[in-house]
Amino acid sequence: MGAKQATRPHARWGYLSGKVICMHYRPLGKTGFKVSEIGMGCNRLGEPNMPDEHWVGLVQQAIELGVNLFDTSESYGWGRSEEMLGRAIGNRADVLIATKVSRIRETNQHDFSAKRIIAQAEGSLRRLRRDCIDIYQLHSPSLEEMKRFDWLDGMARLKQEGKIRLVGVSINDAASGQWLIEQGLADVLQVAYNMLEPRVGEAVFPVAERHGVGIMVRMPMAQGILTGKFRPGEAVPEGHRAHLAGKHMAELIQRAEAFKPLAQEWGISLGQIALRYAISAPGVSAAIPGARSVEQLAMNVEASNGVGLSPAELQRIASILS
């Protein structure tokens, strides 16, 4: 599997609505895999407001446009997201699936014991219709939980049985990421990082790059705030992911205003600037924005350019952040 992925070309051309799109690929740390620098986060995949065929078709369209990295979790729709990926992708070997063992649905508590890690992996494999999970991740554990539970034993057994390839963790803080890297416990880390909240990434990425740990950036558009669709003082629709920012949402929307002139000046959308910012950091393998429509998918994949933002563009953003 690793050898097959390593032969994937540096870039791949695709077409959407008469527009040429070029997806670029990067090493996933030292794992031997190459991933599309724009992947697809699947948190909303399978929502009941659209028929299953819409979601299956969206994933297949993403693959046609060169996306080969899809990130999901057992808790996304409590299996629905994994089921849609299973229908759209199944056991094909040219696409990487990353999923996560999450909290207990009934109690909202974490149990990262080896026994539960193994049991939940079996459920994910069935829903994904795969023989092997490419990247199996802990979903937002605390550092204390990672030190307390015997999750490593579960991951080791799953690897030995050929049911997972890579061990990953979706982290919430820099201390967790640095500990995992320095202890050599993870092949891949998932890190929240964007123009509005870069601190955790800035602390973790240099360490990850030195140790060859692959990095997936989640929330590159700050839960939709960096799409530029919201204005300070205006109501955000109920149910939008921006509300996950909680009491900080209004402040983040206000701060995002400062970046809007760049979109007009540079001739790309604010969301694409945000995605290119995410893949500009050294050591980052891929950003994993979500998409609920072909239009959103197209906007995401068009951000791929192989380099991210130029040093001058990054300096402009840094001057706005300061």
- Across 27-42, b (16+ Cβ under 10 Å) vs e yields ebbebebbbbbbbbbb
- CA 262/CA 157 separation, integer angstroms: 49
For the chain, the C-alpha Rg in angstroms (whole number) is 19
- CA 259/CA 222 separation, integer angstroms: 13
- CA 172/CA 49 separation, integer angstroms: 30
- CA 289/CA 281 separation, integer angstroms: 16
In the residue annotation, 76 being an active-site residue is answered as yes
Return left, alpha or beta for 311; rule: phi > 0 is left, psi -120 to 50 is alpha, else beta. alpha
Longest Cα–Cα distance in the chain: 54
- CA 45/CA 80 separation, integer angstroms: 7
Sign of CA dihedral 258, 259, 265, 270: negative
> Catalytic: which of 76, 136, 193, 277?
76
* Contact call for residues 193 and 222 (beta carbons, < 8 A): no
Residue 208's identity, in one-letter code, is: A
CA 57 from centre of chain: 20
How is residue 192 written in tokens?
A: 């929240």
Residues labelled as active-site residues: 76
